[in-house]
Amino acid sequence: MKVYTKTGDTGTTSLFGGTRVAKNHIRIESYGTVDELNSYIGLIRDQNMNVLYKNILIEIQDRLFTVGAILATPPEKEKLKNGQPRLQKLGIIESDIELLEKEIDTMEESLPQMTHFVLPGGHTTVSYCHIARCVCRRAERLAVHLHEIDPTDEMVIKYLNRLSDYLFVLARKLSFDLNAEEVKWIPRK
């Protein structure tokens, strides 16, 4: 199979199920941003860190492929001609969100309580987490926008929301583990 098909040379692409849309369609922006997020998470995973974090990040990357598949499927193509769900074995489920919450709670147990916002930075790995968090928030906003236009699985929005929280806490935990300075944001008076 060739990587290039030439079918997108005029600015359109195919959604899951074959529907062709413009490459700047909100659905493409949504799952394209999830793909960007997945790449940043791969960059975080490539850093020197606890193997537990790496394993959770692999799980997250797998879930993000599921999120991308859901976002790439327009509602009219969610079922096959025989009525069976196209993404029958795929889906974001409550236990995916519970995993993120459990990891957040575990990491927070060893962290000092937050009293201020923190400025992103302090260590390259921490900065990558903050970049991924911001991309995750953008993916969430785009998924919400798409959902307003063309309803999609609400678990996608919930998962992206919780994932951005996880990435924030991971940044804090890595700052702690790496003895990186966590700079508080204190507004000028």
Q: How far is CA 147 from CA 9, 26, 150, 185, in A?
A: 28, 10, 5, 34
pTM: 0.89
| Percentage with pLDDT > 90 across the chain | 65
Burial degree of 131 (CB within 10 A; 0-12, 13-18, 19+): middle
DSSP string, 77-100: GSB-TTS-BTTTT----HHHHHHH
**pLDDT for residue 162:** 98
Q: What is the torsion angle, in degrees rounded to the nearest 10, for the CA atoms of residue 159, residue 53, residue 136 and residue 129?
A: 160
Mean pLDDT per 10-residue run, the chain (189 residues)? 77 75 85 97 97 98 96 70 55 95 97 88 96 98 96 94 98 95 86
Q: E strands along 11-156, which residues? A: 12-14, 20-22
Q: What is the pLDDT of residues 23-72, one digit of tens each?
A: 788 999 999 999 999 999 999 999 999 999 999 999 999 999 999 999 99
Which residues lie across from 20 on neighbouring strands?
14
Q: What is the pLDDT of residue 27?
A: 92
- Token pair listed for 122: 């302090």
Q: How many CB atoms lie within 10 A of CB 89?
A: 6
CB 101 within 8 A of CB 162: yes
Taking the C-alpha atoms of residue 148 and residue 15, their distance in angstroms, rounded to an integer, is 18
Three-class DSSP category at 14: strand
